[in-house]
Chains A and B, each alone.
Chain A
């Protein structure tokens, strides 16, 4: 599995696990910010910029808010 495929899979999995919360997107954004290395976040942002095929809606919403140092 390519690195970006793995990152998409992981992000979607996190979204599934936060989907039980009303503030799922906030939690997802916070999780990515706190636990993912900047290089991983950057790849996800670039992937979304390139279309983001396969990303779940909550992931898209969270990634759009992600800060990159």
Chain B
């Protein structure tokens, strides 16, 4: 390298003066003055490689024809990109490519979307003087093993773009080039098929392929799209910006948006490919009602559905009281939709019985971060990780659950950042291509608070505190109390070792690594929050960040990785029963007055019921009606038997969804929902980034979800009259201090906005707590370790913990209805070889899993990823009954279920559990009742 960071270089390109930063390539410098140098292997999203030899230029005073993509600018350089000699050389090169890649463009599915075609045209290459009689690859066999794309080696020009995308962007290193010269060919794994290799189907190779060699099957089948709509992914909390590309009303492909600020041109198998569910035959597009859940469904008009629903809900309130009904918002729905649902419940139902599925995932994040830092949100933008020197990933598995963030993280780790993984399982990050965690602390399920306290204990007792930061930024008295608490020997790694299972010496080493880093960042997930002390663990994480001074700048922070696309947004929008939008308590008279004036109604000043409280109240007989938008309680909530009992106790259960999900089988009213492709709105991702969701096709049921809620509210007698979701956002902005600067106009202009966005931060806030905390001074919360009541015994000697897999998403309602099921078609039980052998269990055996709550049967996968004594499963398939086994233990502060710790016994069995048999019969019966509605149509 002959430049220094920060230097500026001036040069001449084709007679034009260009000034660019040192280190810029000649090709990039030319692009600054709109000079396009022909190219094949170069692309702006990958480091230059210099293999195709098409982008040759002439540089005065320099011999030969250097590749402009790999040649850096120099002061005073004079570059010529066009000359007869250059064009001749380029044509020769392209002709050689064409000699093995005939320009039969009219018969090619990539016709019009092929860089070789474009380059050949630009250079005037219309045929090949060498003919096709020599050796070529035209008979090379296609790899059609991946359900989403095809690799056609005969179209490959071995430019390495796919290999580099897999390495540098995705970080999987699944592709390489085998052979040399003419024999060179792209291979997946050790010359496996794509499906058999380590390929994770992120689509980066397809995105970067300049020809038809790697092409989506939908494009091969239907041809190129005709129009596109930029929107936001409806899967995880990364919130990738995607381009929906359509022909007519058919979405042909979803591609990652290069300008997307959350994902910067990358995607994963779910967002990139698993969109087919939106038009799956299981979609229900007509409203349905029934008196009892044993009755057949009856399709009705929207008007009748709204009238029927309103009458039943009002009738229940007349008989059982105002508080006998409630509703649930969804983290899969837009901000505008969740805002309307909570508004309808507070204003039309007249109570605060509103909750959201964040109850069962990140509600402890809200409590913990609000208490310690003053705001219920993560502190950083995703790109902050590029500045981290040490990253601690605790109770999260980003490779599977937040893959696009995982790719960013891996990129930073390959640059040399250190990694601490705190997880009972040996997750992929612990040891993956070119990445090895410096510490894998295999904490025992239930030991998180003991662990995080021990980390802080080491920091404080070994003099590693950030004294100046604490003195300037944190409450002094609270700090002194906490310091006294944390220094107690009970919090030492040696004493906590029994609870954590982590050797004290390794924990001490990890604490030193974390505390002595210039920038140390913490990323955590549901492995932190879904515990009986989930809120305490979140506060412990905030304490650790504060005591080491790792807040308020890039490269540090406390970063909850949100499970679903709009967890952050649904919480922001006032979905909790004790908070109005903007996390303001319902008992605050001034805040309530603000909403009462806007909504023209008197609001309740007392908190309402949370989801588990609703279930308990339903079984007790005084909670009778529930409106559920876009959430599948029956599959996702713990202790399925308890949930089913509660749902059966309802006199009116209203489900609004795109499918007849597990909860809808217990419903009396079904209101057809719209997928993210069918509506306008916004999602807010885990970095507080508000992004536009744009309608790509008309709603299959005729109404967008916000219109359905609005109509239901009107039927209930509380008028709502919005003509577009932008008006709902305007109302949110009027009522919510952190959103006052947000509007659709600004979102269109900026692409996305990270809240707070108001007078103090008109362009939004990528990093929070800069200079001071939202609450003023940071609060060190006392985080005493209280062991969970869920203990192992002789009868239940193993601990079950649950999680996700890459190709499936949550309850699987979306991904199970796509080809993603070819990658993962059933939930399995991961078990350590010792535990399996002790029980006589072999690979793929059926295992009975019994807990104090219930029993289910899963197929065994024997894996050393598990630690002895701990087993693991996912919850993507309803018939698996993973939540039949989980208990109704919950976080002390928020009632977030303790999914991550269930004492179980595992045994070899030969038939499904009783619950599974009953589930099959019930599901079959409900399908028959649905079929009757369809037959009568």
Distance between Cα atoms of A21 and B371 in the complex (Å): 15
CB distance from B389 to the nearest CB of A (A): 33
> Are A34's CB and B609's CB within 8 A?
no
Distance between Cα atoms of A34 and B319 in the complex (Å): 28
Distance between Cα atoms of A69 and B782 in the complex (Å): 31
Which one of A19, A31, A36, A40 contacts B784 once the chains associate, using CB atoms below 8 Å?
A19
Q: Which of B890-912 contact A (CB under 8 A)?
A: 890, 892-895
Which one of B323, B533, B587, B620 contacts A3 once the chains associate, using CB atoms below 8 Å?
B620
Q: Does A26 contact B (CB under 8 A)?
A: no
Distance between Cα atoms of A14 and B535 in the complex (Å): 11
CB distance from A41 to the nearest CB of B (A): 9
CB distance from A69 to the nearest CB of B (A): 6
Interface of B is mostly: loop
CB distance from A19 to the nearest CB of B (A): 7
CB distance from B744 to the nearest CB of A (A): 34
Q: Does B622 contact A (CB under 8 A)?
A: yes
A17-B786, A17-B893 known; A69+B606 contact, CB < 8 A? yes
A10-B892, A13-B892 known; A36+B485 contact, CB < 8 A? no
> Are B888's CB and A6's CB within 8 A?
yes
Distance between Cα atoms of A29 and B206 in the complex (Å): 58
* Contact code string A6-32 (vs B, CB < 8 Å = 1, else 0): 110010011011011100000000010
Question: Cβ of B894: which chain A residues have Cβ within 8 Å of it?
Answer: 35
Q: Which of B514-529 contact A (CB under 8 A)?
A: none
Question: Cβ of B587: which chain A residues have Cβ within 8 Å of it?
Answer: 34
Distance between Cα atoms of A36 and B536 in the complex (Å): 19
Q: What is the size, in residues, of chain A's interface with B at 8 Å between Cβ atoms?
A: 22
> Are A36's CB and B607's CB within 8 A?
yes
> Are A16's CB and B892's CB within 8 A?
yes
Question: Cβ of B613: which chain A residues have Cβ within 8 Å of it?
Answer: 37, 40
Interface of A is mostly: helix
Question: Cβ of B607: which chain A residues have Cβ within 8 Å of it?
Answer: 34-37
Distance between Cα atoms of A19 and B783 in the complex (Å): 10
Q: Does B617 contact A (CB under 8 A)?
A: yes
Distance between Cα atoms of A1 and B612 in the complex (Å): 12
> Are A37's CB and B619's CB within 8 A?
no
Q: Does B778 contact A (CB under 8 A)?
A: no
Q: Does B585 contact A (CB under 8 A)?
A: yes
Question: Cβ of B893: which chain A residues have Cβ within 8 Å of it?
Answer: 14, 17, 31, 35
Which one of A6, A17, A39, A40 contacts B892 once the chains associate, using CB atoms below 8 Å?
A17
Question: Cβ of A2: which chain B residues have Cβ within 8 Å of it?
Answer: 620
In the complex, residue of chain A having the shortest beta-carbon distance to the beta carbon of B639: A1
Q: Does A54 contact B (CB under 8 A)?
A: no
Q: Does A52 contact B (CB under 8 A)?
A: no
Q: Does B616 contact A (CB under 8 A)?
A: yes
Q: Which of B607-647 contact A (CB under 8 A)?
A: 607-609, 612-613, 616-617, 619-620, 622, 642
Closest 9 CB pairs of A and B: A20-B784, A3-B616, A3-B620, A13-B892, A17-B892, A20-B782, A16-B786, A37-B609, A38-B606
State the B residues within 8 Å of A (CB): 323, 352-353, 485, 532-533, 536, 577-578, 585, 587, 605-609, 612-613, 616-617, 619-620, 622, 642, 782, 784, 786, 789, 888, 890, 892-895
A/B interface sample: 6 pairs, CB < 8 A = A3-B619, A6-B612, A6-B616, A17-B536, A35-B894, A69-B606
